[in-house]
Amino acid sequence: MNPASSTAVPTGIAPEHLSDPDAERIRALIDHVCGHGAADILRAALPPGVPDAVVDMVSRHCRFDHAALLVFPERLGDLLDRLPHWGLRTTEVVPSTVVRNRIAERLGLRAESVEVHIVRCALPGDGVAACEGRNLELFAVAPVPGADFARLRAEERARNGETHFAFRVVEPTPVTLLDLHDLLVSRDEVLRDGGGFNPHEDTFVLYFRSTGEPASDRWPRRLEILATGSYPEVLRRHAASNPAAGRAGSPPREDLPREDTTQEDPPREDPTREMLHLVTGAWVTQAIGVAARLGLADHLGDGSRSVTDLAEVAGAEPDRLGRLLRLLAGHGVVRAEADGHYRLTERGALLRTDRDGSLAALADLYSGLFFTSYLGLEHTVRTGEDAFTRVHGRESFEYFAEHPDEARLFREAMAFGTIVFDAVPAALDLPPAATVVDVGGGDGELLLRVLRDHPTARGVLFERGHVVDAARELLAASAGGDRCDPVVGDFFTDPLPGGGDLYLLARILHDWADPECLVVLRALARAMPVDARLAIVERPIVEACGSVLPLRFDIQMMTNARGRERTVAEYRALLAEGGFELLDLRPLPLDMAVLTARPRPAQG
């Protein structure tokens, strides 16, 4: 336990209030909550060695909410009487239904014969600043005669299986929750551990449990993510089978108690309304694109502005701009305030050009050049020829070579992938002093992240000449760039660098049809040592997850390039034909994933 925690809570606790195991557990949990910063509590709830990037992303979007503990007082009143001695102020006591039913099932009893209350408590501080604003939730189970209850109580007091540390998403959106979910489960050691929506409290909950030993403070590595509102798509993703489950060496999932939440089915919409939402989706795309080109997010910044003021700085007609803003507010891009001003939401802030991971260029591209390509979608479906060529007269790569302004916009749009790149290093297994070869690695953004996360690794960036020339400046100015050697070449025609331990192929295969992909894969198979690994960063179609985003990008690749998104089975078959064996798939944010493969031994 943190030595500083001995002074973390108010003193003056009478000895008789520390005489039973639950009192000691409550005191220890208070010490833990008050003796650690939120980031340290989060880190202790995650697997050992979790990268800083994971902790930073969760901390960026969440604040610590509470810690939970299952306790067994003789009477509820006894527990409530004791709470002030620990500096706890009771804020709410409510009956529990779900926890009661679960405990009754474990005891083989009727639910009516078990009594469970949720006691919500606040730590007001009283001179201890670290405690202020922090909360505990105590699940108080009344005694039930019998050996089974005694066994349950002993197990819980020994293992603290119900204990979890809850973090609340400050500005929840489906995108934010999906990204947080995918980032957490991208770690093999993190298992999905249930979740749900409580309509009575308008609270959405996801649980995660980490494998391995408890944290040094004896608390299990169990994390709860809370959000206001209902997010059925996120819950469907969370309910999908865990990639870590069933693997050799993975411990079986235990059916431990969970927070008192209930699941409600999402309301069914009228089919006509649903279809109208679909067929008018292009209007929303154009509205967001216009907002990006007008620079509305940059003009709003961190503040709020009236429509008239915003129209003046953006060069727009006030009435029309007001109607555009009203639509954007209906889709959560901006928020209308009581005085008629508008302010960016977390979603809308993604259109700011001064933010890492900005989607402003992507919105411009997808509502402009690539949008017009969809006028040729019917031609593509009928003939198999790509729509971009039909509409613009050139294949996309040729077009960009002839139009530098659009090429620059395309590069800026693709920079949004850094959101995914931040999570890639944690999904890679690298030996010490490894050599990482990034094939077609662009300006080196992904490779630099890997090198920063693995200080003893060296990198090789394999790209065409004009791309390498542009990458040298970034490499020279970045930490880890001195450990990266640029190599000029074309992966379709030139030999690939040999001797690497890990080869990266990030967002390359989806650009091309199978024959072109096989040229690259076979070149890799020839260059890679037999014990090397290939890490492919793509957006596989995983039907079990229920997400339509990969399906949309599949149509995008069909319309604006010669490529496609592929199912996991299609990647497995493509890799096998190219000389590789698919080993693993680890999820990343935004439905992306790292697919790990190894060269197949030569036959005969």
Question: Annotated active-site positions, please?
Answer: 510
Contact 2, 36 (CB under 8 A): yes
CA distance 510 to 441: 14
CA distance 133 to 121: 10
446 closest CA partner among 413, 409, 414: 414
Contact 365, 373 (CB under 8 A): no
CA distance 130 to 128: 6
Tokens of 506: 């990030």
Amino acid in position 577: E
Which stretches does DSSP call E strand in 221-364? 222-228, 304-305, 334-336, 342-344
91-103 per-residue burial string, b: 16 or more CB within 10 A, e: under 16? eeeeebebbbebb
Contact 502, 451 (CB under 8 A): no
Amino acid in position 65: D
- Other residues' Cβ atoms within 10 Å of the Cβ of residue 503: 25
Amino acid in position 228: T
CA distance 423 to 421: 5
Contact 524, 577 (CB under 8 A): no
* Residue with token string 């479906």: 381
The DSSP 8-state label assigned to residue 214 in this structure reads P
By residue count, the chain amounts to 604
Contact 355, 415 (CB under 8 A): no
Amino acid in position 485: D
Tokens of 173: 């959106």
String of DSSP letters for 92-134: EEEE-SHHHHHHHHHHT--GGG--EEEEEEEE--TT-GGGTTE
Using CA of residue 470, residue 473, residue 479, residue 483, what is the dihedral sign?
positive
Contact 148, 142 (CB under 8 A): no
CA distance 559 to 389: 9
Tokens of 537: 């960063």
CA distance 579 to 602: 9
3-state secondary structure 494-544: CCCCCCCCEEEEECCHHHCCHHHHHHHHHHHHHHCCCCCEEEEEECCECHH
CA distance 329 to 558: 32
